[in-house]
A = this chain, B = another copy of it.
């Protein structure tokens, strides 16, 4: 006869059976049975975040690297609310994430205690929701949440009242969730795209996203481009893109809509391969939302479909030829050159260790790094897919936990980094192999640009104050030290080259404040 197990134990077991090995957690009173179960049921390691947005961002980064669903444990509505911003980014990255959120004991809910809130409404804004209504259904709800996350490539939340976590029932046979998968694109669709590309000649663009940005996907796209002369772009903010190590130099679609529309305007066909249809990031007066001309958009694969496989088929159909590699790297800046976005991008690209993971958040050094990195060692880039800032450091943390044998670099702007700086503490606790490079210009620079775009070139006092992180300058070296991460400040290209190389070679978390 099966032993009795608590609902919490059944949940942890179901998660482990569905592939969970790590749980990014910040639990509270209503999750204490689950905390106890993490010790009683083998297989799931808990990683504490000091804020839930660290947990959810780390889960996103972890899943992007492992390709498996990631697990979080959050406390009630406020805990989930704290983690929603990075769940929004995970949703936009098509990342499978399962949140387990405790709730009050079911019979206590009607009394509207201080911590009661509408957890399901919050969870529904980022994905599917499963509310456990009795002990018997816990394992199945957990399995279904993993199924949802894997099948829809998205976020799913299980809400578990504390009494159902505590109650015991005989152990059930384990049923694992389906593995994450991408639907195949039919041959008809591939042949249709081939016909469109043949008709367009060199006047076509292929926009790569999703798993088209794997090595195999980019190599296939490179073969097609070499054969046909078409132009390749990566989506502007990929969840995960391989780069360097001889891959073709595929530019990102420009961020601002006028520029992006200009590069798409001339195309007779714009093929999306794993990317969303190209639209403007924000709507601006007088600028169309849709960046393609009518009739030119062709869909090879949607973001959740297997774009890599479709590109391989397409390359075979079109008879692609081997592409040339990227051009030589730009001359790196001299040691005495003051740091700028360009200098940072070039130094980091030229010193990047083999097989690194680079989590990029913010434009100051992010765009220049991308420009410089085509000729770098092979690496994986993770970007902020949903625009909710505070994603870069947690994502780097999760990536480091997913791949402890790979060096991780967080190329981080300061404004967004300050949203989730607590991630540094977990990096320290977990001895995560992350080098954090903070581009410290003490400004929300993108907002100054946007103020200008809205016709406000001459900032008033309040606009200047609301877009400045000066007065006082944040001291990132002290901030890192507060969280147990050794840190230094670099002001010139030579400093950065030396400190970055040292940090990479010594392992464990390090932070370098790059003074701009």
Contacts and interface: CB of A to CB of B under 8 A. Distances in A.
A337 interface: no
A280 to B, nearest CB: 7
Interface in A430-486: 446-447, 450-451, 453-454, 456, 459-463, 465-469, 471-476, 478-479, 481-484
Contact of A282 (B29, B166, B289): B29
A114 B281 contact: yes
A217 interface: no
Interface in A151-174: 162-163, 166
Contacts of A29: 282, 446-447, 450
B280 A108 contact: yes
Interface stretch (A76-84, A179-187, A226-234): A76-84
Interface string A99-134: 000001101100101110110011011100000000
A19 to B, nearest CB: 19
A83 to B, nearest CB: 9
Interface string A63-93: 0000000000000011001101100100010
B474 A478 contact: no
Contacts of A481: 475, 478
A188 interface: no
Given A81-B88, A88-B117, A429-B472, A454 B32 contact: yes
Nearest to A428: B472
A339 interface: no
Given A124-B121, A281-B113, A479-B479, A388 B78 contact: yes
Contacts of A48: 465-466, 468
B77 A88 contact: yes
Contacts of A40: 460
Interface stretch (A304-312, A326-334, A396-404, A417-425): A417-425
A121 B125 contact: yes
A51 B484 CA distance: 22
Give the interface size bracket for A toward B: 35 or more
Contacts of A353: none
Interface in A281-340: 281-285, 289-290
A377 to B, nearest CB: 29
Contacts of A450: 29, 32
A321 to B, nearest CB: 35
A468 B50 CA distance: 10
Nearest to A389: B78
Given A27-B447, A78-B386, A114-B386, A45 B284 contact: no
A474 B482 contact: yes
A451 B82 contact: no
B482 A30 contact: no
Nearest to A277: B111
Interface of A: 25, 27-30, 32-33, 35-36, 38-40, 45-46, 48, 50-51, 53, 77-78, 81-82, 84-85, 88, 92, 104-105, 107-108, 111, 113-115, 117-118, 121-122, 124-126, 162-163, 166, 237, 279-285, 289-290, 385-390, 415, 418-419, 421-422, 425, 428-429, 446-447, 450-451, 453-454, 456, 459-463, 465-469, 471-476, 478-479, 481-484
13 contacts: A28-B447, A32-B447, A39-B459, A48-B465, A78-B387, A78-B389, A82-B84, A82-B390, A92-B114, A107-B283, A113-B281, A475-B481, A478-B482
